[in-house]
Amino acid sequence: MSAALGVHIRTFLGHLKAEKNASGHTIAAYATDLRQFREFYAKHTEDPEADPSGIDHLTVRLFLGDLTGTGIGKRSVVRKLAALRSFFRFLVRKKVIGVNPAANIVTPKVPKTLPAFLDEPSVDRMMELPDLSTRAGVRDRAILELLYGTGIRLGELIGLTMPNLDLGGSMIKVRGKGSKDRIVPVGSRAADALRRYLGARTGVLARGPVFVGVGGAGLERRSVYRIVRKYISCVSDIEKRSPHVLRHTFATHLLNNGADLRAVKELLGHESLTTTQLYTHVTVEKLKRVYHQAHPRA
């Protein structure tokens, strides 16, 4: 008899960490999605220790239908389906099950939404908000300047270590998705903000994280979220106010000012040009607005 579903889920999560070098954020998301499926399956079979052998495509469809019935958004459903596909693919490779029951289930269509971003005047106003007479303000300014000035992800920011900081050469090395390293140029304003922050820090470790919280440990994701949300809220009424908004803003401003799409792809660390092309829709929408406002026969 196969092991219980929960055992296989723990093995899979361990595999993601040890062999796939998945980020903590990705592993936590998979854990949440698979735990939710496990609870559904236990209720469905009336056996909390049920093994995966009884899972078929109908089981997965029932789970997705159950999610939809709770009012969960389509994007969340799509993410959970992707988690199940990956998990079952792992079980097939391990010969725990014969076929992937989620392989042929149609992914729900999610309407495309343009990424939220700040305009240039809003960015300028935001950068002037941190109180540079305080250590917290100096830190906040460095975080904002680096996120906007480089377009790096939140995980790349908090994972940035001192050896990978080369302010003399105006560059940093970050570890992106799939544990892939890339070199990212740093503009003069971001570099100046970082120098000011490092000068204000106490007990800077030569090999430690660049951004630290209380006690010298690396700054937590939620802390950066809170910092960025605070400042964006002061300059914009956009709904999304996460660190990712500054990444969107970085890409959008580059393209608006004539940057090559492939260069932006490399700067963002995207695997596919299709992902980067999403930002061209933003610039096209801007051009449409300008056209309709300015042309006599628009």
Place of tokens 């892939």: 180
Catalytic-role residue among 30, 148, 231, 279: 279
Catalytic-role residue among 8, 38, 141, 153: 153
Is there a catalytic annotation at residue 231?
A: no
Catalytic-role residue among 17, 61, 229, 244: 244
Catalytic-role residue among 61, 177, 189, 196: 177
Is there a catalytic annotation at residue 270?
A: yes
Catalytic-role residue among 57, 270, 281, 286: 270
Is there a catalytic annotation at residue 8?
A: no
Catalytic-role residue among 247, 248, 253, 265: 247
Is there a catalytic annotation at residue 153?
A: yes
For the chain, give the secondary structure using H, E and C. Answer: CCCCHHHHHHHHHHHHHHCCCCCHHHHHHHHHHHHHHHHHHHHHHCCCCCCHHHCCHHHHHHHHHHHHHCCCCHHHHHHHHHHHHHHHHHHHHCCCCCCCCCCCCCCCCCCCCCCCCCCHHHHHHHHCCCCCCCHHHHHHHHHHHHHHHHCCCHHHHHCCEHHHEECCCCEEEEECHHHCEEEEECCHHHHHHHHHHHHHCCCCCCCCECCECHHHCECCHHHHHHHHHHHHHHHCCCCCCCHHHHHHHHHHHHHHCCCCHHHHHHHHCCCCHHHHHHHHHHHHHHHHHHHHHHCCCC
Which are the catalytic amino acids? 153, 177, 244, 247, 270, 279
